[in-house]
């Protein structure tokens, strides 16, 4: 699959990489057409200033079908959920950023520290791994990318006049960071905290968490005083798709929640997400790859208020609330003292098409008006202060945001590098991403255009094949996986064979 196309072309090239046609969309009938041009503001109405249209009436039918036959159970579960949220809010008021688990990279093999980290990660959905990359190396990546930007005038970004988020995917710094052996190891470590409901006896699903795949994403260099990149609470990986039967419904990811048993929902079961379609609308903000964790490597010191990441560290409760909120409506107005009381909220009748904060082709946004019980002003806490080379990661369903104003004295700089398992769909995406890498255009999930195709200093697949490790080549889809490894399970071996 991933490498069959490559093998047909090896004779045409001095290195083990295929000859790439000029039009990547024409290489396979299954390839999605190019996305519209734009930047990160294309993803979020709150950044672009646009006013979303009401959702079509079909979404009312979707909502009815999701809880049909379970209405009473859903109503009861809502009451239990609001009680649970209240308890978690009180804990967050006390502990704040201390809720976020941290572990040093050199302690990843320490059983006691790993166990403590695992338990906290499963509860919060976010983590910091300290010292994944040497500080000087991470700082060097920042200087390298700044020279890359200076050498190529006109680099796109947001905001356009003084970018904080750059539409760059193939700069030397990004390639080197994705290929770094300790970044790859950290990704494997993080993904090991997911599980299959069938355990080691799972013979049904093609997936490997010990063979991370490279996902080309943007980078951030946000200067002090910036207030334009004020991205509020949101969740990536689709929006409306989380309720749609042809989206996350394909794997029944949230069935427990829609059946009134949110306590039974586990955010960490990995196989139910394999068939998910998280980008039904091919929008510039859609992500079609299965990312277990979103994440970034710090290229600067970043503290709270200094353009830092904020998270809502209660992954199960927050996800359940976001998904159930569209089914409920208040009887009192927001200025009523009893507005948040459980008794004030009942199942909608009639059912509306609204999915609070969800817009096709965009990310899922949340706010205090639409999601009042989350108390986002209190429950969105800063990730602990990070240093260059630290790796921050958060579950793909985590609510996260950035400081609305960067009040620090120095730049807040990161390379976005998520953790992605090897699956059949991810391997297919990687094959398409490999073609965009060769041409220097934006990766398939991102706004289209000529990108870096004419940029000075851009690294190429040829460079990777000559200078970067075999493990990184495999992660980027440039070399076949070794199916003869002795330490892999039979089904994992089948997964490697499938990808090859």
pLDDT tens column, 145-161:
999 999 999 999 999 99
Q: Provide the mean pLDDT of the chain.
A: 90
| Confidence (pLDDT) at 31 | 38
Judged by DSSP in three states, 334 sits in coil
Model confidence at 25, pLDDT cuts 50, 70, 90, reads: very low
- Asked whether the predicted pLDDT for residue 16 surpasses 60, the reply is no
3-state secondary structure of 408: coil
Q: What is the DSSP letter of 335?
A: T
Q: What pLDDT score was predicted for residue 21?
A: 27
Residue 283 has pLDDT above 70, yes or no: yes
Per DSSP, the three-state class of 213 is strand
> What are residue 165's DSSP bridge partners?
158, 220
Per-residue burial over 13-48, b if 16 or more Cβ lie within 10 Å, else e, is eeebbbebeeebeeeeeebeebbebbbbbbbbbbbe
202-229 as b/e: b if 16+ CB within 10 A: beebbbbbbbbbbbbbbbbbbbeebebb
Does residue 343 have a cis bond before it (omega within 30 degrees)? no
Which residues, at least 6 apart from 443, have a Cβ–Cβ distance to it below 8 Å?
Answer: 169, 215, 216, 217, 433, 436, 437
Any idea what DSSP says for residue 406?
B
How far is residue 425's CA from residue 274's CA, in Å, rounded to a whole number?
Answer: 8
Model confidence at 121: pLDDT above 70: yes
pLDDT band at 44 (very low <50, low <70, confident <90, very high): confident
pLDDT bin (cut points 50, 70, 90) of residue 24 is very low
* pLDDT value at 230 more than 70: yes
Please report how the helices 424-439 and 490-499 are oriented relative to each other, as an axis angle in degrees rounded to 10.
Answer: 40
Q: Is the pLDDT of residue 485 over 80?
A: no
Which of 413, 392, 141, 403 lies closest to 301 in space, CA to CA? 413
Model confidence pLDDT, tens digit, residues 468-482? 999 999 999 999 998
Of 18-32, 83-97, 102-116, least confident by mean pLDDT is 18-32
Task: Place 27 in a pLDDT band, splitting at 50, 70 and 90.
Answer: very low
Give me the pLDDT at residue 493, please: 80
Helix extents (H) in 165-267: 172-179, 181-191, 255-258
With a cut of 50, say whether residue 12 has pLDDT above it: no
Q: Are 464 and 476 in contact (CB under 8 A)?
A: yes
- Residue 32: pLDDT band (50, 70, 90) is very low
Coil, helix or strand at residue 115:
helix
Is the pLDDT assigned to residue 463 strictly greater than 50? yes
């Amino acid at each position: 699959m991933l490498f069959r196309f490559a093998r047909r072309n090896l004779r045409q090239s001095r290195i083990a990489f295929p000859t790439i046609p000029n039009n990547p969309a024409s290489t396979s009938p299954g390839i999605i057409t190019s996305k519209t041009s734009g930047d990160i503001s294309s993803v979020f109405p709150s950044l672009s200033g646009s006013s979303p249209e009401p959702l079509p009436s079909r979404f009312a039918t979707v909502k009815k079908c999701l809880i049909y036959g379970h209405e009473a159970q859903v109503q009861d579960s809502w009451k239990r959920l609001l009680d649970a949220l209240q308890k978690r809010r009180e804990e967050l008021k006390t502990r704040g950023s201390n809720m976020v688990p941290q572990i040093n990279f050199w302690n990843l093999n320490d059983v006691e520290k790993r166990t403590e980290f695992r338990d906290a990660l499963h509860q919060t959905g976010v983590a910091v791994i300290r010292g994944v990359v040497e500080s000087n190396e991470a700082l060097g990546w920042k200087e390298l990318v700044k020279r890359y930007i200076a050498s190529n005038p006109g680099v796109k970004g947001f905001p356009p006049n003084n970018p904080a988020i750059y539409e760059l995917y193939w700069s030397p710094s990004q390639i080197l960071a994705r290929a770094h052996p300790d970044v790859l190891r950290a990704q494997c470590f993080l993904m090991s905290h997911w599980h299959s409901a069938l355990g080691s006896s799972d013979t049904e699903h093609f997936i490997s968490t010990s063979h991370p795949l490279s996902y080309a994403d943007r980078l951030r260099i946000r200067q002090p005083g910036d207030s334009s990149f004020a991205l509020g609470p949101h969740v990536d990986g689709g929006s409306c798709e989380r309720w749609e039967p042809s989206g996350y419904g394909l794997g029944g990811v949230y069935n427990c929640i829609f059946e009134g048993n949110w306590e039974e929902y586990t955010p960490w079961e990995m196989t139910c997400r394999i068939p998910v379609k998280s980008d039904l609308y091919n929008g510039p903000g859609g992500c079609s790859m299965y990312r277990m964790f979103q994440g970034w490597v710090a290229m600067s010191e970043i503290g709270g208020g200094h353009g830092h990441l904020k998270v809502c560290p209660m992954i199960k409760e927050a996800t359940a609330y976001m998904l159930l909120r569209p089914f409920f409506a208040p009887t009192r107005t927001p200025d009523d003292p009893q507005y948040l009381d459980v008794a004030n909220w009942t199942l909608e009748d009639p059912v509306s098409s609204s999915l609070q904060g969800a817009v096709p082709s965009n990310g899922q946004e949340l706010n205090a008006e639409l999601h009042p019980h989350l108390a986002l002003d209190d429950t969105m806490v800063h990730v602990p202060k990070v240093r260059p080379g630290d790796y921050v990661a958060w579950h793909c369903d985590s609510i996260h945001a950035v400081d609305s104003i960067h009040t620090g004295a120095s730049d807040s700089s990161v390379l976005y590098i998520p953790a992605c398992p090897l699956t059949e769909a991810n391997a297919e995406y990687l094959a398409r991403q490999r073609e965009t890498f060769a041409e220097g255009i934006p990766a398939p999930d991102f706004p289209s255009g000529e990108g870096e195709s004419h940029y000075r200093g851009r690294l190429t697949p040829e460079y990777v094949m000559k200078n970067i490790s075999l493990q990184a080549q495999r992660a980027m889809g440039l070399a076949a996986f070794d199916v003869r490894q002795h330490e892999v399970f039979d089904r994992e071996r089948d997964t490697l064979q499938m990808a090859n």
